[in-house]
Amino acid sequence: MVFKLKTIDKNKSIKEIDPLEALLDENPNQIIKVQTNLIEEEMNPWDYVRVVNVRGEPEYQATSDEKVIIAYRDNPILGNQHVVENRSMKERNRVIAAFGEDLEADLAIQGPMWKALQEIAYDIVENKQKIALACWCMPCPCHALKLLPVIVEMVKDILKNKTYNRPKNKM
C-alpha cells in the first residue's frame, strides 16, 4: 500500500508532497487530503523462472524458495524425448532444435506442453512462486532453456489481460 498525499492550498492548487513533509508541515492555509493507491510492483517474470541442474552443482542448484519441476526425459510432457547419440555440441544442438520444433507444434494446438506451461505461469502469477526447471544438462545448453521465454510470455499475457482464472483442466 502506497500513500500519496496531495495538498490543496487556499488558491485551490493541488500538488503531491512527501508524506513525511506533510506531517511536519504546519501551514494552516492548506488542507491535506490523503489518497491511497494500491500500486502493484512491476513483476519481472524472468525473476521467477530458471533452469537448474539435477545434480545440484552449486551455482545451478534450486533454492528453498523455488518449486522444482522436472524437465528431463522422465517428464513425458516437458522432457526432451530426442536422445543425444553422442556427446558432441552439434548433436546436443540437434536434439534441442528438434525439441524446439515439438514445442512450437504443441503450442500451436495448445497441447500438453502448452497446458503444463500455462499451469506454471499461473503458479507464478497467483502465488508469486519461483520455479526451477530441473534438467541434467545445465550448465550446458539445454532444451529447458526453450521453455523459459514461453513461460515468461504466458506470465506477461496473464498480467496484461488480468486473466487470473486458471484453465479448468489441470495437469
Question: What pLDDT, on the 0 to 100 scale, is given for residue 164?
Answer: 58
Beta strands in the chain (DSSP E): 2-8, 14-17, 31-37, 49-53, 66-70, 130-135
Say how far apart CA 22 and CA 107 lie, in whole Å.
53
Residue at 99: amino acid letter: F
Question: What pLDDT, on the 0 to 100 scale, is given for residue 9?
Answer: 52
Cα dist from 63 to 26, 47, 97, 147, whole Å = 50, 13, 29, 19
Tens-digit pLDDT profile for residues 46-68: 999 999 999 877 888 999 999 99
Question: What pLDDT, on the 0 to 100 scale, is given for residue 117?
Answer: 97
Q: pLDDT means per 10 residues in the chain (171 residues)? A: 46 54 47 36 88 87 95 97 94 97 97 97 94 94 97 94 63 45
Say how far apart CA 171 and CA 154 lie, in whole Å.
16
* Predicted model pTM: 0.72
Say if CB 60 and CB 146 are below 8 A apart.
Answer: no
Question: What pLDDT, on the 0 to 100 scale, is given for residue 119?
Answer: 95
Cα dist from 127 to 14, 48, 65, 136, 145, whole Å = 38, 11, 12, 27, 23
Residue at 27: amino acid letter: N
Question: What pLDDT, on the 0 to 100 scale, is given for residue 59?
Answer: 84
Say how far apart CA 21 and CA 39 lie, in whole Å.
21
Say how far apart CA 60 and CA 146 lie, in whole Å.
17
Residue at 51: amino acid letter: V
